[in-house]
């Protein structure tokens, strides 16, 4: 039996996964938020989508690898958003 992850810890984990994925595909979330290209609501929704992902371990493993990433994996729930921010829509 697995112990459920407390909600706050889950939010922190998925916030980090979202930020790491953005960085790996060439998106600077902080710069995009400052410039207005990304709203706080969009960030909140993106983290919530990430929290609903069924492959966080696979994602974390991918992010630990030193392979170039031009785009998020197909299973990424924020792939479209990240590609829009990257300018590859």
Residue in the structure block whose two tokens are 């974390």 = 60
Distance CA 51, CA 2 (A): 17
Which residue, among 67, 75, 84, has the nearest Cα to 29 in the 3D structure?
84
Per-residue pLDDT of 20-31, as tens digits, reads: 999 999 999 999
Per-residue pLDDT of 22-62, as tens digits, reads: 999 999 999 999 999 999 999 999 999 999 999 999 999 99
What are the DSSP calls for 28-81, one per residue? -HHHHHHHTSS-HHHHHHHHHHHHT-S-HHHHHHHHHS----SS--TT-TTHHH
Residue in the structure block whose two tokens are 């929290």 = 51
Structure pTM? 0.88
């Amino acid at each position: 039996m697995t112990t459920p992850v407390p909600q706050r810890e889950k939010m922190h984990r998925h916030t980090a996964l979202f930020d790491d994925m953005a960085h790996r595909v060439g998106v600077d979330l902080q710069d995009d938020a400052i410039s207005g290209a990304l709203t706080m609501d969009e960030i909140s929704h993106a983290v919530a989508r990430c929290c609903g992902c069924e492959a966080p371990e696979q994602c974390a493993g991918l992010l630990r690898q030193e392979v170039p990433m031009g785009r998020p994996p197909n299973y990424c729930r924020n792939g479209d958003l990240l590609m829009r921010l990257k300018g590859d829509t």
